[in-house]
Amino acid sequence: MTVSHSESAINDNAALMNMQLLINLIPGLKWRKKLKINWKRVATTSLFGFAFVGPVGHFWYESLDRFIRSRLVLRPNSLRFVGAKVALDGVIFGPLDLLVFFSYMGFASGKSVPQIKEDLKRDFVPALILEGVVFYLGLSSKRMHPWKQWLVSLLSGKEKPASS
């Protein structure tokens, strides 16, 4: 069964929300009382995931797959296919997603258009750089997630059996 990017985004968002809930339920944690979940922010970011990242991301990745197969004539799951997909996604959809997210969060928090423009001028480029660094570090720490091991093995051309 293949999981689409929209399903993955929904699953990741649900997992983060569940982790926040579980942390509050663990008795004996000294910092548990200090941790306050901003439910309005959780709802606002979740709505962004459901309304934008899920549907738009789904069609983006479907279209990107078709474009790479038909226009760039690359074999799916090959090193070049994955590399082209990651590069195009990072150059085109990454900045667009970040721009829409910052704008949406600004409007959701009651900011005016000039305030949002000022926030974008200040925060957009550093956030885009940080996004790239976090992505690179995420790929380099493959011990944490099985999908990272699969991706590294795919890029190296050797499929490794999944460990349970």
Residue whose pair of structure tokens reads 């606002």 in the numeric block: 44
Inside any domain, residue 153:
no
Compute CA 149 distance to the chain's CA centroid, rounded to the nearest angstrom. 18
- Tell me the per-residue pLDDT of 48-76, one tens digit each, with 9 for 90 and over: 999 999 999 999 999 999 999 999 999 98
Going by C-alpha positions, the residue among 21, 90, 19, 12 that lies closest to residue 45 is: 12
Inside any domain, residue 160:
no
Inside any domain, residue 154:
no
Contact 124, 102 (CB under 8 A): yes
Inside any domain, residue 41:
yes
- Tell me the per-residue pLDDT of 13-45, one tens digit each, with 9 for 90 and over: 555 565 666 555 555 555 555 668 888 989 999
Inside any domain, residue 39:
yes
- Tell me the per-residue pLDDT of 102-123, one tens digit each, with 9 for 90 and over: 999 999 999 999 999 999 999 9
Distance CA 50, CA 12 (A): 12
- What tokens were used for 37? 């979940």
Helix residue ranges, H only, the chain: 5-25, 39-48, 54-70, 79-88, 94-108, 113-140, 146-156
pLDDT at residue 65, rounded to an integer: 93
Domain housing 23: 5-147
Inside any domain, residue 159:
no
Going by C-alpha positions, the residue among 34, 41, 52 that lies closest to residue 17 is: 41
User: Domain total for the chain?
Assistant: 1
Inside any domain, residue 132:
yes
Inside any domain, residue 164:
no
Distance CA 96, CA 98 (A): 5
